[in-house]
Amino acid sequence: MSGNGQNRKKTVNRKKTMLRLAIYMMEYRWWLLLALLCTIGSNLFALVGPMLSGYAIDAIEPGKGSVIFEKVFYYAAWLAVFYVISSILSYGLQILMIHISRKVMYRMRKDVFDRLMSLPVGYFDVHQTGDIISRISYDIDTVNESLSNDVIQLLTTVITVVGALAMMIVISPKLVLVFAFTVPLSMILTKYMTGKTRPLFRRRSAKLGELNGFVEEMVSGQKTLNAYDRADYTIDRFDVKNKEAVEAYYQAEYYGSIVGPTVNFINNLSLSLVSVFGALLYLAGSMTVGSISSFVLYSRKFSGPINEAANILSELQSSLAAAERVFRLMDELPEPEDLPEACELTDVRGEVHGEHIRFGYEPGKTIIHDFSFRADPGRLVAIVGPTGAGKTTLINLLMRFYDVESGSICVDGHEIQKLTRASLRKAYAMVLQDTWLFTGTIYENLAYGCPGASREKVIAAAKAARIHNFIMHLPEGYDTILTEEGTNISKGQKQLLTIARAMLLDAHMLILDEATSNVDTRTEIQIQKAMRELMKNKTCFVIAHRLSTIQNADLILVIDHGDIVEQGTHESLMSRDGMYRRLYQAQFE
């Protein structure tokens, strides 16, 4: 795409983003109208101040040394009244915008989270968790900051600049010509300087990012670093990256700091020119001292906001970019709705079979080619094979996290595409290798999928998972609080808790995806025995690398490159000279 095409696309995206933000804000249109009235009122009352100040100064009669105090006190009193009213309206405006932005952010964050809950699993497979969290937290906070501050400042800038210019034209059209020179000069220099410094700030961000990434990498690998005695080498590498970051930071800050003084110089230059030409007009009898004073004050109100507008617009660009990221997430397609004729899966027996399944995560990249299997009710089906063979993919298809490209998977004679996803997934209890526990008591974590479970049922499941004794040795037993995804217990204990949670579910099928990889072999065998006792007449799918734990499986599926290359019992597979036998011998020889 050409540069012009990219620019048009950016413009369209920016306009679309602004429109969508406006739609959110227009839900509170009456609050916005009140905020607009406060903005106009606050700035207009503030703009009257310099004029009244000039009138008060003109109450002094030059050459006579006399002062008309009645006029001075009169204008000073009105000046105080207008500034107090302006301050009250300004305060009210801030409160209103904080109130509006809070409501907008609440609604936006809720919409984002609702969309996240409706997205297919595939979205989370290809997007980093940190990036998703950044959108729902940092990006929305950036938009919130912009709505509550930058929008006010921009409106204030427009009203102040237009009002100050109008008042200066009323006082002296001739003096306004000074700004025909200084304002364009200020804008040209500001644009030039920001164009020069912007790459320096980008480089600074990049170098700081590299430094932070290096530190995070080295800290997380501290044990390996010490084991290989690479501390001195690492320190030398850190020194290099630290110097690069500091130098980039210095360059950006040094040249960036020139912009402010340059703009201030031009502002002071305009003030000097106004003073000089104002004095000449005073000597010519065209202006009074009070008029010159008022004009000077208006000139400060005129030139200051113009220079600040560049920074405000820059911050608005940042918030628009953040809003665009948020809206891009909202525009992600949710998980497809169930078919109109889809029915609920009830009275589950647990008979699962697949016929000629074909599937790939990306178009043109098939992972499972021609996959057929049958799992009878109440049977334990083990799925084994080398890494990347397609074991977890099969589980994703069973749960309908993804749909097959061709072929079919049936549960109790029903094609799963013709079943509602909710009823299909409720028929399974699932334990993954990556355990998930939330901040709460152990009892709450175990009863997560069965909210009304009694304490006795929870304890029975914990005993079956061989975790009850450990729980009872904790200070608060089942009321012990787990923190930050269970970081106060070991990985193996976390897995046992998730297995107990799965046992508690009233599900007719069970999926274990490397669920016992963090427990020892003896405990794993005990868990399997306990689960077989608890899961009678329920179909179990187990993905396991340790083949010793699945020797009693009713059916073992051996997968390689997306195909079932062997299937049978342990004894029948060991009697052949096939992949299963080679995998088994490789583990025990």
pLDDT tens for residues 500-538? 888 787 778 888 877 666 666 666 666 666 666 666 677
Confidence (pLDDT) at 321: 75
- Own/partner pairs, 130-137, CB within 8 angstroms, 24+ separation: 132/329, 135/325, 135/326, 135/329, 136/109, 136/112, 136/326, 136/329
Whether pLDDT at 5 is above 60: no
Tens of pLDDT, residue by residue over 223-279, are 777 777 777 888 888 898 899 888 887 887 777 677 667 777 777 777 777 778 877
Distances (CA, A) of 450 to 61, 426, 467, 502: 88, 11, 18, 10
pTM: 0.69
Task: Give the mean model confidence (pLDDT) for residues 126-153.
Answer: 75
Mean pLDDT over residues 159-178, rounded? 80
Residues 6+ apart with CB under 8 A from 19: none
Residue 179 near residue 299 (C-beta atoms within 8 A): yes
Percent of the chain with pLDDT over 70: 84
Which single residue is written with the structure tokens 């009697």? 575
pLDDT at 326 over 50: yes
Q: Please check whether residue 137 is in contact with residue 326, taking contact to mean a CB–CB distance below 8 angstroms.
A: no
DSSP secondary structure string for all residues of 132-195 = HHHIIIIIHHHHHHIIIIIHHHHHHHHHHHHHHHHHHHHH-HHHHTTHHHHHHHHHHHHHHHHH
Q: What is the mean pLDDT of residues 310-331?
A: 74
**pLDDT at residue 10 in the model:** 47
What CA–CA distance (Å, rounded) separates 479 from 501?
15
- DSSP per-residue codes, 546-579: -GGGGTT-SEEEEEETTEEEEEE-HHHHHTSSSH
For the CA atoms of 120, 125, 131, 133, what is the dihedral angle to 10 degrees? 50
